[in-house]
């Protein structure tokens, strides 16, 4: 089933009650049309967006495919707007085959203005499904609004590389972790890197090398310093390193952290050639001469390995790029999970800010 | 902060959904066969796509025909493009295929294993370390002992500094004696922890969900015994006929094809005690206890507890369809059953006296796999006679396919002025509650085998215990001349199946 079919309701000058009634009515209609239409009940997502950029956000959300939240509430904000308008869409991916079910996903777009901000909770609350977890996303900032809507949310989605300054990004993430589970897209982009570094040291014979790391170098997109700090923070928190502020060195951050028996030299450097957010390469060296390197490659990460005798090997670890839509989809999925390693990594990353 | 690093712990794996898989060379025997093309190669591609293959991964195909690596790679590519659940990423596909090699020759030819050994050593040399080796036997079962023996003779069953595993497809024997002999043969070469007997049903999310359903929800466990449960029905019905599989199917039949393995596994999941932990050994210990609690049928018991039948011509999916004996490739006068139903008892403290009805068949009314647990009726009905007519015992139905879910039949009052009860269903559908798509069973099973996690694989004593239940039936049926009872294609199955039921019980509608 790939063709999407929608039923739509819209009203100008509407109320949350009317919108909620329309949702119920559309569900009844769809079910009457075909008893095999079933509403998904997984996750609410509230997206607070600036109306002028709402098209771009809609495109990004369309790209997440099956990771679409089961109910998406878009609060589209337009300064100066007086009237509350709304559109409700209930979509399914085609008609159900006999004996099979077709899931329904609900999207509610509410157009709001300044005068609605004070009572935003009373608009949003009736429009999320009770007892489902709710993920909050405010891609255009609006920290004050986020504070308000956190009352309805258990998880908040952010992207630490979208803040212009790494310090602001990490501070903001830290503040939010005190109130909700934070899903950070900058963290999720680094998952394949973390998986492969974990795998490199997984053989029992190599695990002691983790205590012998002497140097870590990370190259990253120019605007992704926060992502590089999070990766370094992950290593530091997992390996119990005592971190301190790094120093600016041109386009790079450099310094050392204390790792028990030895210091670890850290260098986080911008890679001007990288055109997408995230990391370009990671290299770890140990006191015994082992070097483990990963860098972006075609069809997966390219591994570079130098053993204790100095013999070098290179190979590709297959893996398809998820693209930014895939990363966003993964972010939505992660709202239902819990990664206990993010907050310690974030704290360590903050400790390394110059 | 993380715990200090020890040789036992890898602190970097905490929080990762995908745990590392040790570098591995996977050798597929029967690499040009149907299973490899339809399931194994697409599963490997999807693992590669998700970045879930080991750090270093090589695949070697072994099959009878001689061909060059390049030709085999092209065949792999075609199979992946045709059967993968997602459109291949060209770069990932190329990366996967770059590490694919081929060895041609018959499975009893020493030269094949000599060449294989050289290739495997080459993979190690290229990686600079001894890679784990996994031998996947995706061949006709008659080759299993041959291949295992040759692996032993060629000293490929052990590998200094790395693990060697053997993955064996079903069927694991066609009789109890064959299963025992195969176990003897395999365990003469490999240790049991090296052996991974596949029952792909166990790799399905739905089957694993049954354990979550039972052991993560306190509300069911108090009812989950003979005091509250009246009967259990397990159904695996297919709408399709045998298609082009007459050769295999006619030598197997419904009992061997589904009941001996998959359906007995489902029964185990329903009836097993909570394991101490979800480790491979603990889970399998509990399943073996269930199987050992099922009395081995005697020839005299069999007519009372087992029914077989064949489909006759009928209608399916709006089309006229032939009967089994008219299907292409089926021998004239075949007495292979396309339908089998059993009534089993689990003679232990929890289940004594509760019948477990199992049925499976081809060309039934529709495709469905489900487990229906019927609770005992309430002891007293306070409603009027009219009002009580619609009261039925509660029934909990776990559906595995096509729509994975759980439904509970309850009695509810019909709106109106009178107290009249009718059954209603409270339904939960997995598809409505999770964002993720279930991975293919083979993706999970191949990964688990490469990681050495045998939880979802069948142990030697488990296979033998399954056969101890089915072997007397297989033997008796083989000795009993036909013709078999018939059921019309597209129907609910043979009338004779009703004879298995205890008074008052009835088969659920398919």
CB < 8 Å & 24+ apart, contacts of B154-157? B154/B110, B154/B113, B154/B114, B154/B116, B154/B117, B155/B117, B156/B113, B156/B116, B156/B117, B156/B120, B157/B189, B157/B190, B157/B194
Cα torsion A322, A327, A328, A332 to 10°: value is 110
As a whole number of angstroms, the distance between CA A116 and CA B392 comes to: 53
CA distance B53 to B95: 12
- Residue B5: its chain A contacts at CB < 8 A? 207-208, 210-211, 239-240
Is the Cβ of B11 closer than 8 Å to some Cβ of chain A? yes
The class of domain B203-440+464-500 in CATH terms is: alpha beta
Please compute the mean of the pLDDT values over residues B125-144 and round it to a whole number.
Answer: 94
Q: Do domains B19-169 and B203-440+464-500 have the same CATH topology?
A: no
Question: Which residues, other chains included, contact A29 with Cβ-Cβ below 8 Å and sequence gap of 6+?
Answer: A7
d(CA B463, CA B483): 30
Superfamily (CATH) of domain B19-169: NAD(P)-binding Rossmann-like Domain (3.40.50.720)
| Residues of B (44-73) whose Cβ lies below 8 Å from A | 48-51, 53-57
Q: Which of B49, B200, B262, B269 is catalytic?
A: B262
What is the pLDDT at residue B2? 46
Please tell me the predicted confidence (pLDDT) of residue A96.
79
- Ramachandran assignment for A53, one of left (phi > 0), alpha (psi -120 to 50 degrees), beta (any other): alpha
Which residues lie closer than 8 Å to B302 by C-beta, 6 or more apart? B472, B473, B476, B477
pLDDT attached to residue A5: 66
pLDDT digits 0-9 by tens, A50-96 = 999 988 898 888 888 778 899 999 999 999 999 999 999 998 877 77
Q: List domains and CATH numbers for chain A.
A: 4-153 (no CATH), 189-322+340-351 (3.30.360)
Q: Give the C-alpha separation, B280 to B88, whole Å.
A: 33
**Largest distance between two CA atoms of chain B:** 84
DSSP state of A68: -
CA B45 – CA B451 distance, rounded (Å): 18
What distance in Å separates the CA atoms of residue B62 and residue B29, rounded to the nearest whole number?
5
The residue ranges of every structural domain in chain B are 19-169, 203-440+464-500
Q: Average per-residue pLDDT in chain A?
A: 93
In B, residues 200-219, which contact A (CB 8 Å cutoff)?
none
Q: What is the pLDDT of residue B320?
A: 92
Give the residue among A272, A316, A324 at the shortest CA–CA distance from A296.
A316
In this predicted structure, which of A128-137, B101-110, B203-212 has the lowest mean pLDDT? B203-212
User: What is the pLDDT, as a whole number, of residue A314?
Assistant: 94
Quote the pLDDT of residue B429.
77
Q: Which residues of B touch A314 (CB under 8 A)?
A: none
Beta strand B229-237 pairing with B100-104? unpaired
Lowest mean pLDDT of A101-110, B55-64, B119-128, name the range: A101-110
Query: Residue B123 has what pLDDT?
Result: 96
The whole-number pLDDT of residue B8 equals: 61
For chain A, the straight-line distance linking the first and the last C-alpha, in angstroms and rounded, comes to 52
Beta bridge mates, A243: none
Task: Quote the CA–CA distance of B411 and B18 in Å, as a whole number.
Answer: 44
- Quick one: pLDDT at residue A4? 62
Is the pLDDT at A1 greater than 90, yes or no?
no
Phi, then psi, of A228 in degrees rounded to 5? -65, -40
Q: What is the pLDDT of residues B143-176, one digit of tens each?
A: 999 999 999 999 999 999 999 999 999 888 889 9
Kindly state whether A315 is in contact with chain B, defined as any CB-CB distance less than 8 angstroms.
yes
Q: Is the pTM of this model over 0.95?
A: no
| Residue bearing the bigger pLDDT, A29 or B187 | B187
CA distance B392 to B424: 10
B262 given a catalytic annotation: yes
- Structural element, H or E, at residue B272: none
- Write out the DSSP string of A90-127: EEEESPPPTT--EEEEEEEEEEE-HHHHTTHHHHHGGG
The residue with greater pLDDT, A3 or A177, is A177
- Asked if A298 and B113 touch (Cβ cutoff 8 Å), the reply is no
* Residues B348-405: tens digit of each pLDDT: 999 999 999 999 999 999 899 999 999 998 888 877 777 777 788 899 999 888 878 8
- A198, B55: Cβ pair inside 8 Å? no
Question: CA-CA distance, B153 to B147, in Å (whole number)?
Answer: 10
Interfacial A residues in 63-92 facing B (CB < 8 Å): 66-67, 70
Instruction: Please give the pLDDT value at position B384.
Output: 74
Q: State residue A349's pLDDT score.
A: 98
Residue from B10, B435, B450 whose CB has the most chain A CBs within 10 Å, to mutate = B435
Question: What one-character-per-residue DSSP string does B449-482 give?
Answer: HHHT--TTSB-HHHHHHHHHHHHHHHHHHHHS-S
Taking all residues of chain B, what is their mean pLDDT, rounded to a whole number? 91
Closest CA to A141 of A159, A117, A167: A159
Six token digits for residue B489? 């294609």
Q: What's the distance, Cα to Cα, between the start and end of chain B in Å?
A: 55
How confident is the model over B431-452, as pLDDT tens digits? 777 766 667 889 999 999 999 9
Q: What's the confidence (pLDDT) of residue B3? A: 44
Among residues B316, B350, B226, which one has the least CA distance to residue B510? B316
């Amino acid at each position: 089933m790939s063709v999407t079919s929608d039923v739509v309701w819209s009203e100008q000058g509407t109320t949350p009650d009317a919108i909620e009634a329309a949702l119920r009515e559309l569900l009844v209609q769809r079910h009457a049309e075909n008893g095999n239409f079933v509403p998904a009940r997984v996750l609410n997502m509230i997206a607070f967006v600036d109306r002028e950029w709402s098209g771009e956000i809609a495109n990004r959300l369309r790209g997440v495919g099956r990771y679409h939240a089961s109910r998406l509430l878009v609060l589209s904000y337009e300064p100066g707007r007086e009237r509350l308008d709304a559109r409700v869409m209930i979509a399914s991916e085609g008609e159900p085959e006999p004996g099979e079910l077709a899931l329904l996903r609900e999207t509610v777009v509410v157009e709001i203005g300044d005068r609605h901000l004070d009572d935003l909770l009373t608009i949003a609350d009736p429009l999320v499904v009770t007892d489902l977890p709710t993920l909050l996303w405010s891609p255009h900032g609006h920290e004050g609004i986020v504070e308000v809507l956190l009352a309805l949310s258990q998880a908040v989605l952010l992207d630490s590389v979208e803040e212009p300054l790494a310090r602001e990004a990490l501070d903001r993430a830290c503040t939010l972790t005190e109130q909700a589970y934070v899903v950070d897209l900058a963290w999720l982009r680094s998952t394949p890197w973390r998986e492969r570094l974990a795998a490199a040291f997984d053989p029992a014979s190599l695990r002691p090398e983790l205590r012998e790391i002497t140097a870590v170098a990370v190259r990253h997109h120019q605007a992704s310093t926060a992502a590089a700090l999070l990766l370094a923070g992950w290593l530091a928190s997992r390996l119990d390193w005592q971190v301190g502020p790094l120093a600016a060195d041109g386009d790079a951050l450099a310094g050392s952290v204390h790792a028990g028996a030895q210091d670890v030299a850290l260098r986080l450097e911008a890679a001007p050639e990288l055109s997408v957010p995230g990391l370009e390469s990671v290299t770890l060296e140990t006191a015994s001469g082992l070097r483990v390197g990963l860098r972006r490659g075609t069809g997966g990460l390219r591994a570079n390995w130098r053993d204790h005798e100095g013999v070098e090997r290179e190979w590709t670890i297959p893996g398809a790029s998820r693209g930014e839509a895939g990363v966003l989809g993964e972010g939505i999925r992660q709202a239902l999970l819990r990664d206990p390693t993010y907050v310690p990594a974030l704290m360590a990353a903050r400790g390394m800010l110059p | 902060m993380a715990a200090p690093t020890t040789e036992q712990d890898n602190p970097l794996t905490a929080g990762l959904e995908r745990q590392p898989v040790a570098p591995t060379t996977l050798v597929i025997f029967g690499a040009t066969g149907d299973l490899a093309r339809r399931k194994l190669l697409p599963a490997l591609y999807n693992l590669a796509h998700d970045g879930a293959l080991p750090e270093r991964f090589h695949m070697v195909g072994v099959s009878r025909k001689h061909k060059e690596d390049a030709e085999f790679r092209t065949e792999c590519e075609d199979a992946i493009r045709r059967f993968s659940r997602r459109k291949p990423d060209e770069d990932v596909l190329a990366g996967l295929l770059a590490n694919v090699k081929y060895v041609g020759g018959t499975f009893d030819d020493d030269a094949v294993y000599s060449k294989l050994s050289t290739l495997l050593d080459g993979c190690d040399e290229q990686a600079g370390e001894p890679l784990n080796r996994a031998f996947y036997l995706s061949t006709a079962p008659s080759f299993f002992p041959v291949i295992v023996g040759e692996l032993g003779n060629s000293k490929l069953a052990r590998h200094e500094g790395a693990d060697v595993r053997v993955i064996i497809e079903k069927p694991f024997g066609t009789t109890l004696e064959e299963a025992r002999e195969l176990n003897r043969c395999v365990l003469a070469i490999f240790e049991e922890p090296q052996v991974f007997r596949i029952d792909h049903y166990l790799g399905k999310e739905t089957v694993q969900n049954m354990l979550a359903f039972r052991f993560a929800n306190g509300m069911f466990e108090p009812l989950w015994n003979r005091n509250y449960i009246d009967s259990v029905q397990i159904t695996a019905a297919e709408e399709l006929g045998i298609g082009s599989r007459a050769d295999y199917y006619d030598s197997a039949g419904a009992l061997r094809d589904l009941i001996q393995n998959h359906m007995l596994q489902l029964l185990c999941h329903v009836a097993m005690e909570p394991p101490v932990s979800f480790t491979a050994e603990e889970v399998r210990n509990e399943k073996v206890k269930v199987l050992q609690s099922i009395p081995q049928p005697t020839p005299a018991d069999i007519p009372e507890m087992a029914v077989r039948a064949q489909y006759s011509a009928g209608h399916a999916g709006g089309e006229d369809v032939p009967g089994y004996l008219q299907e292409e490739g089926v021998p004239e006068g075949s007495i292979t059953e396309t339908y089998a139903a059993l009534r089993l008892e689990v003679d232990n403290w929890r289940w004594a006296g509760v019948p477990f009805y199992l049925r499976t068949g081809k060309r039934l009314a529709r495709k469905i796999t489900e487990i229906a647990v019927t609770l005992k009726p309430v002891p007293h009905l306070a409603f009027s006679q009219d009002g009580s007519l619609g009261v039925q015992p509660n029934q909990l139905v776990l559906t595995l396919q096509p729509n994975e879910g759980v439904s509970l039949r309850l009695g509810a009052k019909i709106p109106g002025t009178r107290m009249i009860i009718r059954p209603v269903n409270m339904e939960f559908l997995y598809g409505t509650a999770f964002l993720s798509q279930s991975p293919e069973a083979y993706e999970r099973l191949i990964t688990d085998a490469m990681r050495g996690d045998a939880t979802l694989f069948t142990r030697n004593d488990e296979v033998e215990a399954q056969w101890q239940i089915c072997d007397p039936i297989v033997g008796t049926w083989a000795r009993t001349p036909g013709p078999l009872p018939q059921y019309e294609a597209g129907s609910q199955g043979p009338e004779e199946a009703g004879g298995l039921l205890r008074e008052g019980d009835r088969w659920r509608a398919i």
